[in-house]
Structure 1
Amino acid sequence: MLQHPHPSPAARPQPPRRCGSACRALLLLCLPVLLGLTCCASLPTIVPDLARHSGAPVQLQGARGPLTAPQSRAILDGLRARGQDTDIFARHLALEEAIVGSPLTTGNAVQLLQDGPATYRAMLAAIAAAREHINMETYILDDDEVGRHFAAALIAKQREGVQVNLLRDSAGTIGTPAAFFQQLSDAGVRVLEFNPLNPLAARRGWELNQRDHRKLLVVDGRVAFLGGINISSVYSGGSFGKKPRPQARADSAPTWRDTDLQLRGPAVTELQKLFLANWAAQQGEPLRDRDYLPTPQSAGRQVVRIIGSSPEEAFSLIYATLLSAIGSAETTVHLTNAYFVPDPQLLAALEAAAARGVDVRLILPGQSDSWLVFHAGRGYYERLLRAGVKIFERRGAILHSKTALIDGVWATVGSTNLDWRSFLHNHELNAVMLGTEFGLQLQAMFTRDEAASEAITLTQWQRRSPALRLKEWFARLWAYWL
């Protein structure tokens, strides 16, 4: 059940979207205008009504459509049997049913991808194997070594007769020259700019606040990639000690730590539907006739739900399902996130979980591409540490991952940050995986990141310098406008 109360005293004006250094400068210049356009809003209070679904059988959707109740029960019993001998899995399954959205699909294969090099290799291999169409949706697509490599690969497939459709965010690609996209268009690639920053180019109501933060690649409707990874040379190196290539990272900047997924199976159809819906909503040219929704094929045994969120909806499904999962946690809440500027309800959920004995651990950046967001997030450390939440800052890389693992059986990877921006203003995309098979993989990655991080203790944090406290105070003033 979702309750939409009147704005609470904690509610604040809605902020414009954080969108990279160049875009942030633009937004700050426009701030006086934006302040006049924003209105008071609060995130909805999420109360999952688990009892409402406890008596009804859960129905999964497979490659050939909805499964029968016995088929669904057999798959879920198998997942439950591989977990702990408790009702933890049943509780998380119930909350997934309580959050209305896309179907729970079975028959999926899910591969966890770490950092840019591994993800790009897999993506480029899928592009090279494309036979019918390629749909790409991205926030950032830089005109650098990696971006040009992708552009060449997309142009080559277009010339082979594979239809390539590219949806790119206007703010995220603000630093990419128009000529970069023109070469793609000249080759026949359909390029669509999401919500142009230039109001004169707007195809519908101009909304500077709304940005497309999704990162999605769908090839032939059979294989898909999603997560936090943009198309940029900042990802040219691995984040666990491997040296970046000198030609790609001549400035010796730190590498970026990020996470993506490669999926096959019925969940790909749900991702394809989201791309097609976003293209249509942006009033792009009608897409050329292709088999965008081929008959799904079973590729594995993972149970996956695809969740797309939009500021045009009454509430963020990703926000709702995450809060519900944290509220139902019995043993562990392990979150890794790049931009941590939580709203009061998320803070309360984390504190409540820690108070009932749940092991709550946050891996957050030790350095960031956003000075204000970094220090605004640190401004919540003392409150969380006092509540028993364990905080770790990732060292040696810029953390950009957005993952969560709860009780070892509920996992999500996607583009959503833990801030008001993602929950209120962005088009975001996450996948939720149920069961211990994927949970064990994500836990191993979390443990490795924790080992590469510095633990922040309450005693240590209370001794931080007055200069740091001043930065936190200043950043918190701007937290809702970053």
Structure 2
Amino acid sequence: MTPTVILSTIWLVLEYAMKIIAIGVVPENRRPSSSSAWLLLILFLPVVGFPLYWLIGSPWVTGRRQQVQQQADEIIRTHALGLPLIPEGADASQGLDGVIAMNRDLTGLPCMTGEIHGLLADAADTYAAMAEAVDGATRYVHVEFYIMAWDATTDVFFQALAAAVKRGVKVRLLVDQLGSQKYPGWREFGRRLTAIGVEWRLMMPIDLLRGRWRRPDLRNHRKLLVVDGERALVGSHNVIDPSYGSRRNEQIGRRWHDLSVVVSGDIVLEVEAVFAMDWYTESGERLDPAEHFIDKPDLIPGGSVNAMQLVPSGPGYPTQPNHRMFIALMYLAEETITIASPYFVPDESLLTALTSAVYRGVHVELYVGAEADQFVVGHAQRSYYEALLEAGVQIYLYPAPAVLHSKYMTVDDKVGVIGSSNMDYRSFALDYEIMLMAFDGNLVDLLHRNDAHYRQVSTVLTLEEWRQRPWYEKYVNNVCRLTSALM
């Protein structure tokens, strides 16, 4: 046999060995859609698919990060012992108590009370409100965002941090490296933070020269601010100009439209706990419970006071708490469901829950952008429109060039959920997220008012209109739908 024949034979044996191994390994504890996508890639392009699978195929973290997550969960569960399932005076009837119990079992975080101080939509108003909260800080400020940039729009916030440090306030800041480093000013960002006295760390850092390697597909997508343990902000805003530092975006008027909520009360303890876990993971510093976890007066739900539960999720939570919460709430709906999500790429279970709600007679509204800022996810999302429209979901297209980036859901007049999580596989399994669920107060009313605004400015997509799209667009949508299951 010639060397060429020998090499070809060896390669053929290796190729089939990889394919046979993949068939038995890839489907383990994995969604069918994700398994199919990985297997197709490996079977058609084994040289690319097999190494890529071993590099990023698992959606879960291992090693130290997994240990930190488990330790933090145990500490939270210990501190929550003895707390009631539902705060005194709250009404969690019609099955909501089961959702609360599930969330607590999966994350350890109990249902508490908190007061809402308003929703924030406009970026400049949001950063001004954040700066105002920091201006009132006397002890510490904790900042954690996926994307941050010190630009003309966000300067008011960073100047507030600088002034706080000068007053003797401790400022800790977490920023995702891959999420932020592609935006203008990144090279100077860390130096500027250090210069004003902020203690900061990168989340999920990658620095091969220093032996720091993290899965590039696993990111920390959380967005939160805590001031003195008294007030917190969670939502979808990143700390960056709403044009995301792009001249082209400015020229065409493309701006990201977000929604965040400001809260006080016991619920701030849970936001603080999430930050403490992430800070310890990246810095090794344990926050002093005596300083950062101080009990607050109990509030009775009603008006601006809500019963609340924070639901963190991410690679450290194999049970995907946010995904399960969304689905469970959809099955509780009796009258209405509204969803705003920039990236709506449901798996089989979520799609079934949403369309089943329509078949039960529930009125379902989905608010998405007419144009997406990400090619693959945007087209993958569009591949689901026909099934949704056929079931009777009303799809509202938020007008371009704006990018609808809000992330929330309401069910009936009962419960609202707002935070950082999209409704796609990345937010369910690959990104660290937080969602705030609230009921028996005014959050759901505030979100319904926001629905009315979105409804007024958006265009309704009809099934007849959607079926007239060209064949090549359908093809691209379906290819991206398959690819999205890998991400």
Q: Which has the larger radius of gyration?
A: 2
Contact preservation (8 Å) 1:256, 1:400: yes
1:192-203 equivalence runs, <5 A = 192-201=201-210
Residue matched to 1:317? 321
* Structure 2 counterpart SS, 1:226: strand
Contact preservation (8 Å) 1:7, 1:41: no
Cα distance, 1:65–1:233 mapped onto 2, change above 3 Å: same
Displacement, 1:422? 0.4
Whether 1:411 aligns to 2:420 is: no
* Structure 1 counterpart SS, 2:334: coil
Residue matched to 2:177? 170
Contact preservation (8 Å) 1:132, 1:291: no
Displacement, 1:453? 1.0
Alpha-carbon displacement from aligned partner over 1:20-79 (angstroms, at most 9, x marks no partner): xxxxxxxxxx9985344233779xxxxxxxxxxxxxxxxxxxxx997779x955x125xx
Q: Distance in 1 between matches of 2:37 and 2:155?
A: 36
Displacement, 1:186? 3.1
Q: Distance in 2 between matches of 1:202 and 1:324?
A: 42
Contact preservation (8 Å) 1:195, 1:206: yes
TM-score of the superposed pair, with normalisation by structure 2: 0.79
The structure showing larger relative contact order (alpha-carbon pairs under 8 Å, at least 6 residues apart) is: 1
Residue matched to 1:233? 241
Aligned counterpart in structure 2 of residue 185 of structure 1, from 181, 194, 212? 194
Q: Distance in 1 between matches of 2:311 and 2:384?
A: 28
Contact preservation (8 Å) 2:112, 2:309: yes
Question: Which residue identity is paired with 1:257?
Answer: H
Aligned counterpart in structure 2 of residue 424 of structure 1, from 409, 429, 438? 429
Residue matched to 2:478? 473
Cα distance, 1:388–1:428 mapped onto 2, change above 3 Å: same
Whether 1:462 aligns to 2:480 is: no
Q: Distance in 2 between matches of 1:32 and 1:150?
A: 45
Cα distance, 1:354–1:463 mapped onto 2, change above 3 Å: same
* Structure 2 counterpart SS, 1:340: coil
**For structure 1, which segment, 357-366 or 145-154, has the greater mean C-alpha deviation from structure 2 after superposition?**
145-154
5+ unaligned residues in a row in structure 1: which ranges? Answer: 16-29, 43-63, 81-88, 237-246
1:286-325 equivalence runs, <5 A = 291-298=291-298, 301-325=305-329
**Structure that is richer in helix per residue:** 2
Contact preservation (8 Å) 2:87, 2:112: no
Aligned counterpart in structure 2 of residue 381 of structure 1, from 378, 385, 392? 385
* Structure 1 counterpart SS, 2:33: coil
Aligned counterpart in structure 1 of residue 445 of structure 2, from 422, 440, 446? 440
Cα distance, 1:158–1:394 mapped onto 2, change above 3 Å: same
* Structure 2 counterpart SS, 1:118: helix
TM-score of the superposed pair, with normalisation by structure 1: 0.80
Cα distance, 1:230–1:9 mapped onto 2, change above 3 Å: closer
Q: Distance in 2 between matches of 1:92 and 1:427?
A: 24
Q: Distance in 2 between matches of 1:167 and 1:259?
A: 21
5+ unaligned residues in a row in structure 2: which ranges? Answer: 1-26, 39-47, 61-79
* CA RMSD across the alignment: 3.2
Question: Which residue identity is paired with 1:306?
Answer: L
Q: Distance in 2 between matches of 1:303 and 1:327?
A: 20
Contact preservation (8 Å) 2:398, 2:457: yes
Question: Which residue identity is paired with 2:170?
Answer: Q
Whether 1:76 aligns to 2:76 is: no
Contact preservation (8 Å) 1:408, 1:436: no
Cα distance, 1:13–1:207 mapped onto 2, change above 3 Å: farther
Whether 1:452 aligns to 2:457 is: yes
Question: Which residue identity is paired with 1:154?
Answer: L
Displacement, 1:408? 1.7
Q: Distance in 1 between matches of 2:458 and 2:170?
A: 43
Cα distance, 1:298–1:114 mapped onto 2, change above 3 Å: farther
Cα distance, 1:371–1:157 mapped onto 2, change above 3 Å: same
Cα distance, 1:288–1:440 mapped onto 2, change above 3 Å: closer
Alpha-carbon displacement from aligned partner over 1:172-213 (angstroms, at most 9, x marks no partner): 11124232211212332111001113244465x622222110
Q: Distance in 2 between matches of 1:152 and 1:438?
A: 31
Cα distance, 1:107–1:7 mapped onto 2, change above 3 Å: closer
Whether 1:114 aligns to 2:121 is: yes
Cα distance, 1:106–1:5 mapped onto 2, change above 3 Å: farther
Question: Which residue identity is paired with 2:409?
Answer: A
Contact preservation (8 Å) 1:117, 1:235: no
Displacement, 1:143? 3.6
Contact preservation (8 Å) 2:115, 2:263: yes
Question: Which residue identity is paired with 1:186?
Answer: A
Residue matched to 1:136? 143
Contact preservation (8 Å) 2:311, 2:435: yes
